[in-house]
Chains A and B, each alone.
Chain A
Amino acid sequence: MRCPTCTGLPITESGDALSIQMRREVRDQVKASQSERDIYGLMVARYGSATLLKPPKQGLNLVVWATPLLALGAGAVHFWRTFRFQQTRREPGTATDPYLAQVRQETGSRKSGDS
């Protein structure tokens, strides 16, 4: 749970007076046998979902959760395609470079001429 008066600090690490009171409030709720979900729900009802350090996985927040995974997937696909392309280039006899083909052809014919 985020400290409402600080930037990016959880209430457990903030020395702000309001965070201290919020910690007390959470402790009181735990003592009153409230579930974790109910306590989060109570704070969200007061301060909004911005009070959660982990945004809930719903609505527009899904973009935040999905973007790293999509980026990772895109990176993996890019890496795989690049790696495969280089493998293909290294395979003998499949060179697409006309100069390389010419060199291979000439060196090949010279070898056969030498023998």
Chain B
Amino acid sequence: MVAKRLAGWRRWLPPVISAVLVTALIAALLRPGRSGIAGSPLLDKPAPASTLRSLDGVKVELASLQGRPVVVNFWASWCLPCRDEAPLLRSLSETQSDRGLAVLGISFQEPELQNARAFIREYALAYPSLIDPGARTAINYGVSGVPETFFIDRQGIVRSADRGGLTPARLSEGLSRIGIKWP
């Protein structure tokens, strides 16, 4: 009797294992991609201190912006989603003030500096776009591709990260996490 029940149980084992594997595969395939509000090990942690350089060669310390909410956007001229989100960031930067929101662009893996300058001219970017020597800042922020945008609150804590190109809704959500209402 027990042997019979065991044999019945064994008969179901291969289809059950197959069903579990197929379900796991489907779940992995349907998992949301890297685009959108993203998890980052930096979330709710202090923004890494970094030293960058302006296109004119002036040193810029990220720590000097502490006390202001900051949007840090990693971009490259060769990246198409960066082109899509550039007008959005430009319009956001028009709301910047001395004590309020600061928008920063950081150029990522740009082989020719003149391409970065052309990009800034093309989209009339009025916010500072900085060079990241040795990709140190990109590595400190765990950037693996562009565009990637970090939202840092007044206390210097990373509150949100967005990958794959901002939309007005995603920008608004990121800003809301650092206490900024937009638009």
Q: Say if the beta carbon of B135 comes within 8 Å of chain A.
A: yes
Report the Cα distance A17→B107, complex, angstroms: 14
Whether the pair B41, A47 counts as a contact (CB closer than 8 A) is yes
Report the Cα distance A48→B144, complex, angstroms: 12
Whether the pair B41, A21 counts as a contact (CB closer than 8 A) is no
Q: Say if the beta carbon of B87 comes within 8 Å of chain A.
A: no
Chain A residues close to B by CB (< 8 Å):
4-5, 17-18, 21-22, 24-25, 44-48
Q: Which residues of B contact A44 (CB under 8 A)?
A: 41
Whether the pair B139, A21 counts as a contact (CB closer than 8 A) is yes
Whether the pair A17, B139 counts as a contact (CB closer than 8 A) is no
Number of chain B residues whose Cβ lies closer than 8 Å to a Cβ of chain A = 17
> Considering residues B48, B135, B144, B145, which has the most beta carbons from chain A within 10 angstroms of its beta carbon?
B144
Q: Which residues of B contact A17 (CB under 8 A)?
A: 109, 135
The 8 Å CB contact of A25, one of B39, B42, B136, is B136
Q: Which residue of A lies closest to B133 (CB)?
A: A21
Q: Which residue of A lies closest to B134 (CB)?
A: A21
The 8 Å CB contact of B141, one of A22, A24, A46, is A46
Chain B residues close to A by CB (< 8 Å):
39-42, 45, 48, 109, 134-136, 138-142, 144-145
Rounded to whole Å, the gap between the CB of B53 and the closest CB of chain A is 15
Main secondary structure of the interface of A (DSSP, over half): helix
Whether the pair A47, B135 counts as a contact (CB closer than 8 A) is no
Q: Which residues of A contact B145 (CB under 8 A)?
A: 4-5
Rounded to whole Å, the gap between the CB of B37 and the closest CB of chain A is 16
Q: Which residues of A contact B139 (CB under 8 A)?
A: 18, 21-22, 25, 46
The 8 Å CB contact of B42, one of A4, A18, A22, A46, is A46
Q: Which residue of A lies closest to B41 (CB)?
A: A48
Report the Cα distance A17→B136, complex, angstroms: 12
User: 19 interchain pairs (CB within 8 A)?
Assistant: A4-B144, A4-B145, A5-B144, A17-B135, A18-B109, A18-B138, A18-B144, A21-B134, A21-B138, A21-B139, A25-B134, A25-B136, A44-B41, A45-B45, A46-B48, A46-B139, A47-B41, A48-B39, A48-B40
Whether the pair A46, B135 counts as a contact (CB closer than 8 A) is no
Report the Cα distance A101→B135, complex, angstroms: 81
Q: Which residues of A contact B136 (CB under 8 A)?
A: 21, 25
Report the Cα distance A17→B109, complex, angstroms: 7
Q: Which residues of B contact A25 (CB under 8 A)?
A: 134, 136, 139
